[in-house]
Amino acid sequence: MEFKGLRATIIGLAREGSALARFLAERGAEVTVTDIKGEEELRERMVPLAHLPIRFVLGSHPIDLLDETDILFVSPGVPLEIPIVQEARKRGIPVSGESRLFCELCPATIIGITGSSGKTTTTAVTGEMLKEAGIPTWVGGNIGRPLIESLEKIQPQDRVVMELSSFQLKLFGPDFGLKPLSPPVAAILNITPNHLDRHPSMEDYIAAKKNIFLHQGENGVAVFGYDNAISRSLAAEAKGKVWFFSLGELPEGAFLRNDRLYLKMDETELEICRTDEIKMLGRHNVANLLAASLLASIGGADIEAIRNVAINFKGVEHRLEFVREVRGVKYYNDSIATSPERVVAALNSFDEPIVLLAGGKDKNLPWEEMAALTVKKVRHIVIFGEAAPKIERAVREARSRLGASTPEISLCSTLEEAVAEASRVAMPGDIVLLSPGGTSFDAFRDYAHRGERFKELVARL
């Protein structure tokens, strides 16, 4: 792609938008950045770009920007339904994103990873396994620094491991004026209802996820979670080589048998490790390790490197992260749990009595399964945030349906109040678990901001 003189408009000056603006402006593009926020809120983002010839249009997204636009770039946090994006599509102006542009330009093999849960852990572990094998590896996408910043340093023999969200992947499809695109190695870990506040339907969400493998050629490699009915069914649409991973036994791929993790490719069965050697909590993390082992092996990692990381990786921040023990009570930060399904996985990771902190902003997802599990696993639930009425109703209905007296319920307005209440009701031997089930956007910038605040509050107990 020729950038000199290209009239590029970028919607959103967050992490990806800032990196993209710099990348394009440094290569001679005529860059306009538009953001719904004002200059005061965005000053921190604007200052590092001040030396570059970038025009900022703030406070709204005027449609007439399209009169001087050859290509429109949209940040993942921006809904594609907004008027300026719809008008660009009507006019035939291509719509892209930082992740898509990176994939178009990257000289190295890209391993793309998506799923409703487990993306970040699987991406991080895959990256560590490849690095342990001595392969120069870059990790990013939906996590860490935008990969476009590192493009000049990436060599053809390197590996790139990318976490890709449904919002990023939507722009890889055929509906936005560019040739459809998929990374050469792709994984769909699982698909369950998620982000239905941003996707008009479950079908739209699945269609976005499918872009990660759908446009591969015959040389493509696609990995699917076998235990998830939707991801398993999608394998039939892959054009290249298909691999599965499973917590049950499989004829090939990555699988679990008698509490041991195995990798079987090209008729050779290799043992990775035993489940009791794994430091990460939860069966869902065994599945993440199996997926990562398979992807790292496809990427060229040897079994020793895969094994070393599998038994030593301690987990990713804000994902069942142990914070501290206070007066015999252990506190865990699982702020990444932004769907009820993730709370279920977290609850199933513990045998001890649990005091659960749940809440945040609702994503229009069902709470019934989580509520039923709280009756069995949770001694006391402390509910906070915008989703509180929905969660309380689901838990009360589950208690009534199952004839149970637990969990006891406390209602709080804020996370600060919730931590104080959890500390008050917790007893020695309990687990206090922040696993909200809702997003953080009712009170925080993102899940990491919420997790950091939780850790600050626990540190003061």
For residues 332 and 284, state if they share a domain: no
Structure token pair of residue 366: 């069902």
Whole-number Å distance between alpha carbons of 122 and 128:
10
Please say if the pLDDT value at position 431 is more than 80: yes
Q: Cα-flanking dihedrals φ and ψ of residue 280, to 5°? A: -75, 145
CA nearest 307: which of 63, 49, 129? 129
Q: Sorting pLDDT into bands at 50, 70 and 90, what band is 137?
A: very high
Please say if the pLDDT value at position 196 is more than 70: no
For residues 358 and 444, state if they share a domain: yes
Residue 1 inside a domain? The answer is no
Q: Sorting pLDDT into bands at 50, 70 and 90, what band is 141?
A: confident
For residues 88 and 122, state if they share a domain: no
- Of the residues 263, 279, 312, which one is the last residue of a structural domain? 312
Cβ atoms of 287 and 245 closer than 8 Å: yes
Specify the pLDDT at position 266.
Answer: 87
Whole-number Å distance between alpha carbons of 161 and 223:
14
Residue 325 inside a domain? The answer is yes
For residues 106 and 161, state if they share a domain: yes
- Domain residues for the domain of 38 are 7-96
In terms of DSSP bridges, do strands 378-384 and 30-35 run parallel, antiparallel, or are they unpaired? unpaired
Residue 2 inside a domain? The answer is no
For residues 286 and 328, state if they share a domain: no
Distances (CA, A) of 179 to 90, 94, 173, 211, 393: 17, 10, 8, 12, 47
DSSP-derived 3-state class of residue 56: strand
For residues 276 and 334, state if they share a domain: no
User: Exposure pattern of 45-83 as b/e (b: 16+ CB <10 Å)?
Assistant: bbeebeeeebebebeebeeebbeebebbbbbbbbebeee
pLDDT tens readout for residues 358-385: 999 998 889 999 999 999 999 999 999 9
Whole-number Å distance between alpha carbons of 179 and 270:
39
Q: Residue 279, exposed/middle/buried by CB under 10 A (0-12, 13-18, 19+)?
A: exposed
Residue 436 inside a domain? The answer is yes
For residues 58 and 177, state if they share a domain: no
pTM exceeding the 0.75 threshold for the entire prediction:
yes
Q: Residue 151, exposed/middle/buried by CB under 10 A (0-12, 13-18, 19+)?
A: middle
Q: Sorting pLDDT into bands at 50, 70 and 90, what band is 198?
A: low
DSSP-assigned letter for residue 361: B
Specify the pLDDT at position 210.
Answer: 98
Whole-number Å distance between alpha carbons of 290 and 320:
18
Specify the pLDDT at position 65.
Answer: 97
- Of the residues 288, 312, 336, which one is the last residue of a structural domain? 312
Specify the pLDDT at position 454.
Answer: 98
Q: Sorting pLDDT into bands at 50, 70 and 90, what band is 415?
A: very high
Please say if the pLDDT value at position 228 is more than 90: yes
For residues 87 and 108, state if they share a domain: no
Average pLDDT, the chain: 95
Residue 291 inside a domain? The answer is yes
pLDDT tens readout for residues 53-78: 999 999 999 999 999 999 999 998 89
For residues 139 and 225, state if they share a domain: yes
Percent of the chain residues topping a pLDDT of 70: 99
pLDDT tens readout for residues 89-118: 999 999 999 999 999 999 999 999 999 989
Q: What is the CATH number of the domain that holds 395?
A: 3.90.190.20
Residue 220 inside a domain? The answer is yes
The DSSP result for 276-303, as a single string, is GG--S-SHHHHHHHHHHHHHHHHTT--H
Please say if the pLDDT value at position 197 is more than 80: no
- Of the residues 96, 113, 144, which one is the last residue of a structural domain? 96
The mean pLDDT of 224-252, rounded to a whole number, is 98
Q: Residue 107 carries which side chain, given as an amino acid letter?
A: P
For residues 26 and 123, state if they share a domain: no
In terms of DSSP bridges, do strands 185-188 and 221-225 run parallel, antiparallel, or are they unpaired? parallel
Please say if the pLDDT value at position 195 is more than 70: no
> Based on the structure, what is the number of domains in the chain?
3
pLDDT tens readout for residues 241-258: 999 999 999 999 999 999
Our CA dihedral for 278, 281, 283, 284, rounded to 10 degrees, sits at: -110
- Which helix (DSSP H) or strand (DSSP E) does residue 382 occupy? strand 378-384
For residues 28 and 51, state if they share a domain: yes
The mean pLDDT of 424-435, rounded to a whole number, is 97
Q: Sorting pLDDT into bands at 50, 70 and 90, what band is 304?
A: very high
- Helical ranges in 47-82 per DSSP H: none
Q: Sorting pLDDT into bands at 50, 70 and 90, what band is 199?
A: low
Q: What is the CATH number of the domain that holds 69?
A: 3.40.50.720
For residues 91 and 103, state if they share a domain: no
DSSP-assigned letter for residue 239: S
DSSP-assigned letter for residue 3: -
pLDDT tens readout for residues 1-45: 789 999 999 999 988 999 999 999 999 999 999 999 999 999 999
